[in-house]
Amino acid sequence: MSHRMDIARPAVPLFRRPRTLWLAGASAALLVTLAATLAIGQAAPHVDRNDVWIGTAQWGQMQREIRATGTLVPKQIRWITAGAAATVQQVVVEPGARVRADTVILQLVNPELRANLEKQRAALAGAEAAVVAQRALLRSQRLDADALRAQANADLLVADVRRIANERAFAKGASAEIDVAQSRITVAQDRKRLAIQDKRVAAIRANADAQLRAEEARRDEAASALDIARQQVESLSVRAGIDGILQQVEVEAGQQIATGAKLARVARPDELIARLQVPETLARDVALDLPVEVDTHGGLARGRLVRVDPSVRNGSVTVDVAFDGPLPGGARPDLSVDGRIVLGTLSHVISVGRPYAATPDGPGTLFVLRGSDDRAHRVPVRFGVMSSDRAVVREGLRAGDRVILSDTSRWNGYDTLRLR
């Protein structure tokens, strides 16, 4: 009987098996292919030429101008406010009507104001009567004081005459020395009494004047209160105040209004200005008296800047334009217009159409087509001053360079674009 021995074969490592090697090679090739494909896509994504805006860098002059939109507004506007709390009784004139300064627009009612007017009239009449009575009383007091002074003066004169007589009689031995002394004392006393009476008269006059001025002040106060009451009653008939067009009426019949509430707006349509909104990024160089051309969509009108708002609101700066001559036909308040503010002309500069999101005097990047017509490479640039449609490029571009000016933010991770 023979015995057969099984000889153990050495194990083949997994990585040396043919099938495993084939799979590993295929996987590596696939990964390399995918990586190459991704690398190619990362480096140069395809962009449809019709989807981007391509401009050309130019050398020479660039006219600096700012384009802004706005409306025509009246130069003279009058807002009419309520002089007192009241109720709207009637809207006499509707918006759009031509009015004169004394035209009644609204009729208001407030019974308390009319009652107060009568009360103030009565108060003024009482104050005037008090002034008359006080003047009569003070005149009587002054007369009494003048009478006492006159009596004191007369007593002094009599006493002085007696003194003189006694002195003459004493000199002739016909009078006693005591009589002379008494007459001299009497004269001295009467002189002092007259001086006191003079001071009393002066004090009475000064006091009378002060009391009279006080009564007159109360009378003037009552007169002022009456004027205010009269104006409040007159304000119930709301008038236009200026010749023009009634543009707005802010209230309606039966409405309760408070003091100072806006009631209506009147404007002069023959004096219009353009009110434009300039983007804040371009407003830095805007200054008074710059020339402006305004398109009213019915014609062009030339003017100049007469006001620049010092503050920024909603990303824009408000400017006003006064016109040098008459406006084209059809111009009216609230008409939409387009303005072109001329800042001047620059010479010997490289400029392009204003790129998307470019800022004045700031850095940026642009995709530039040089040599090849189907590849655009990202190039760092530095911008200078800007207009609404063009920008100066201080660094990074040469005259004749073609650049993509539209929004390229979706390709921020790429340095090259392939155009097709």
Q: pLDDT confidence of 42, banded at 50, 70, 90?
A: low
What is the CATH number assigned to the segment(s) 77-110+242-267? 2.40.50.100
The per-residue pLDDT for range 128-140, each reduced to its tens digit, is 898 888 888 878 7
The per-residue pLDDT for range 175-209, each reduced to its tens digit, is 788 878 888 888 888 888 888 888 888 888 888 88
pLDDT the model gives residue 365: 93
- The answer to whether the beta carbons of residues 283 and 333 sit under 8 Å apart is no
Nearest to 233 by CA among 122, 80, 128, 120: 120
Q: What is the mean pLDDT of residues 394-419?
A: 91
Q: Output b/e per residue, 345-371; b: 16+ Cβ within 10 A.
A: ebeebbbbbbbeebebeeebebbbbee
Q: Alpha helices, DSSP H only, in 258-301? A: none
What is the CATH number assigned to the segment(s) 47-73+271-419? 2.40.30.170
Share of the chain above pLDDT 90, in %: 39
Nearest to 275 by CA among 129, 75, 57: 75
Find the helix or strand (DSSP H, E) in which 26 lies. Answer: helix 18-43
Higher pLDDT among residues 403 and 270, named by residue: 403
In order of 237, 250, 330, the CA distances from 97 in angstroms are 17, 15, 17
- The answer to whether the beta carbons of residues 262 and 78 sit under 8 Å apart is no
pLDDT the model gives residue 25: 53
The per-residue pLDDT for range 332-382, each reduced to its tens digit, is 888 999 999 988 889 999 999 999 888 888 899 999 998 767 889 999 999
Q: Output b/e per residue, 180-216; b: 16+ Cβ within 10 A.
A: beebbebbeebbebbeebeeebeebeeebeeebeebb
Higher pLDDT among residues 270 and 10, named by residue: 270
Q: How many CB atoms lie within 10 A of CB 164?
A: 12
Structural domain boundaries of the chain?
Answer: 47-73+271-419, 77-110+242-267, 112-234
pLDDT the model gives residue 285: 82
Q: pLDDT confidence of 36, banded at 50, 70, 90?
A: very low
- The answer to whether the beta carbons of residues 305 and 341 sit under 8 Å apart is yes
Distance of CA 234 to the CA centre of its chain: 30
Residues 6+ apart with CB under 8 A from 171: none
In order of 87, 93, 244, 246, 282, the CA distances from 104 in angstroms are 16, 8, 13, 11, 46
> In the structure encoding, which two tokens stand for residue 58, read together?
């130019």
